[in-house]
Structure 1
């Protein structure tokens, strides 16, 4: 379901554009918590009619602008070559930010209307299918009793204005069954979750970039100890709030790359990270690896998916600092999780 915030009043009332939950797109009014009012849904046509009949508030102007922008985007897509359409290739024209920053997205988890946690994630495409990748513990985590029923992903919606964004809602369950894909091996559960994204339900004009199988290291690629990596995410939710872009932490490979650290499908990075970075892509320059992706619009190799910090249970929290190390799950698990 596409969910776009149209307007938030000074007292906290929100109006949301929702499409995909029913046959007809709706405007959802979410009153502020103090008022104790009920959430109401109104069909688009009825909402616009009410705006014309009475005083026209900013929520009506925002909806009309959104609908106008969507029509313009669709007209443009109909006039450009199919290889360059927004929903099939991700980006029509090169935006101001580089592709790596547009591959990662901010994540919020919800239980019904209650915002629970913040995290990171990124897009991965395989053939003509699109997926969103994050950590498994973002979508379910029994030890912390974290059981959201949906996540929201922030997307840019105007390639010429990175300040324009919308929240895209991805349900985690349907008919009582989980919708994400996960994996396990001899070492236990793999802390990676993948959700398929139906491209025709993306917000109009969605702007993003995506990794693919060509960005994964081949068995012949090696990473020396101490090699530099970048972790692209949203630590503690911090980001460029004006342009809705992630930040990048510089790290290094801290364990033997290619070997399963302590028998698990992960390796160790040395980088300063925080809560909210879970699900971030761990990348290195494709040029440094002489990889095919070096000449692509996304010249990075996807090495792993950042999971969590490493801590020692016996560490004296008064005397010993945190290790500053992190788990990153090998990205080749995505080939399994995105298979037909």
Structure 2
């Protein structure tokens, strides 16, 4: 049976409100959101009772605790913690829209992974720092929840056999490392609390644990191949160079294997392909260089790469380069002589 539409004043107001909202331009909706944010400062806002900073990778994260016990991360440092570089305007800038979600969750690709509970808990919190300066933050519990959204996007892409969209690659890597790092710190902090050890541990102990883990994780994704290596390949092959963000021909991977790994050290290519095999889709779980050690493997790789780039720059053609390369750096044998490898890399 059809439900009769309500003609009550409240229903009419709601209907009219929706109609007006739909008629607004994007700029008008953003202006309404900004004005609403500014109006919040007219009301009493809490002042932080405790403040401090900690580091996540290269980012310094500012934290505060309100009188009601809510732990906050300031808006700008929250964004940097998940790998977003955009910063709000000083003081009152709130990076959200009239629809409610902060901008870092507004992408259509993220929508399937945002729960109603998360959507309702992303309201920015207005507060004053101990100095009296007004500030905007987010509940600290949101950090792992927001990171999980990006990790679910990654998992969905992998299940469908698709790569993570390029604009989210850095954020996904950062969120993955941060999530694991916080988990390690969390279990240590929990044990310290229940045993009472938190009263005697050094106040920097948890930060040291987080630093140690994240430095290792972020180092795993460090850029090891200079852009010029690929630019020189394109020049010598007489291909148009359109930048690093444009997909490279598949044969470039073969050139990298032949020019670099087959000549880096005896037996290294065979060992790398054994540790880092292709899956049924023809992709590897990691980059070959992620299996190299920091003290021997990576310096050897860097030295070889810059020597190769030097030969490339001296060459006028691909055949001339390969002739010089084969003379200067012939392919190695099967006897591995240097301790170039780390343990297994997590997928």
TM-score range, shorter chain: under 0.3
* Higher relative strand content: 1
Higher RCO, 1 or 2 (CA under 8 Å, sep at least 6)?
1
TM-score normalised over the length of structure 1: 0.27
Which is higher, the Rg of structure 1 or of structure 2? 2
* Higher relative helix content: 2
